[in-house]
Amino acid sequence: MEGKKEFAEEERRCHFCQIRAFAIAQKPHCYTLAITNDVDDEWISLDFRFIEKCVLGQGVKESLAPHGYRVGCECKRDEDCATQCLCLDDLDPDNIINPKYKNAYYTAGERKGLLRYEILELSSDEIYECSDLCGCSMDCPNRVVGRGRKFNIEIFKTKDGRGFGVRAREDIRKGQFIDRYVGEIITPEEANRRRDTAKYRKDLYLFALDKFNHSQSDEQRFRGEPYEVDGEFMAGPTRFINHSCQPNLRVMAVVTDRANKHLHELCFFALEDIPRFTELTFDYVAGTSTAGDNATVAKEAKERQAKGEFTQKCLCGAKKCRGFLW
């Protein structure tokens, strides 16, 4: 079928063809993505497209940085990237939890490549990594996200009405990088248009790239509304990760191109050791004003119900479930 014009549209919509391309791109180390359903006959819509990296939507500028500003480090040895790397210069010294370590990851021992526990559990700051602009190799200790997912993953149909979910086919360690959240990067105007026309809560799939945007920012390019990533119609496997009020993953902003922070990565890391075939989850409302406040979430949801507005009951089943997503 591959390559024949009469099957071009079918091949374009084929999830197997899209996923197979991931494995080809990852050679020689191929980590699989499987889709299984042992519950019913529902499958992922053929209108959905699997992608490996973000796609820029109409009106999105790839670079907002001045010409010639995109530079990487010139570390001659990979180990230098752990302490004196140019890529770490944008870290706020006042927010570094442990002054002994600028690098976000353990660089030696059995935890090598895992996110440092103090950053995983206490920090809300962004992570800076080396990139293709740098002189270091792919073995650099500051290229964890850059090396990609390192385990086999499965999208599976849940048995309790929560649709599809995601689990790993291998044990995952606390602090391990899981994968990126990718989708179509769209302008704030387009994001609001899609919210207004959606039949249900559109924010389920929208992630704002707002780590650096602030009305009082020193840089003009960060004073406006941020771009957003929409994973509803095209995305990677993390788009199917379900919510939990007691999640085993968290999302962190990772910068691989300091000149274009407005297009930073959204990356999942494990909050705990996760046995294989355990469902992966994150908190959909983490970072909001009501995150962790069960009473407030329930009160606001009931107020919206009384007004006839849409509310979403939470089905995560956690011991400390808030009862509602929104």
Q: Which residues are catalytic?
A: 181, 284
Nearest C-alpha neighbor of 178 from the set 238, 257, 254: 238
In angstroms, the CA 59 to CA 26 distance is 30
Burial class (CB in 10 A: 0-12, 13-18, 19+), 108: exposed
Which position has the token pair 């992922």?
44
Burial class (CB in 10 A: 0-12, 13-18, 19+), 111: middle
DSSP 17-77: HHHHHHHHHHTTS---EEEE-SS-S----TT-EE-SS-EE-TT--S--SPTT-------SS
Q: Are 201 and 326 in contact (CB under 8 A)?
A: yes
CB-based contacts of 72, cutoff 8 Å, min separation 6:
86, 87, 130, 131, 132, 133, 134, 135
Q: Is the peptide bond before 188 cis (omega within 30 degrees of 0)?
A: no
147: left (phi over 0), alpha (psi -120 to 50) or beta: alpha
CB-based contacts of 66, cutoff 8 Å, min separation 6:
none
Which position has the token pair 């007691």?
246
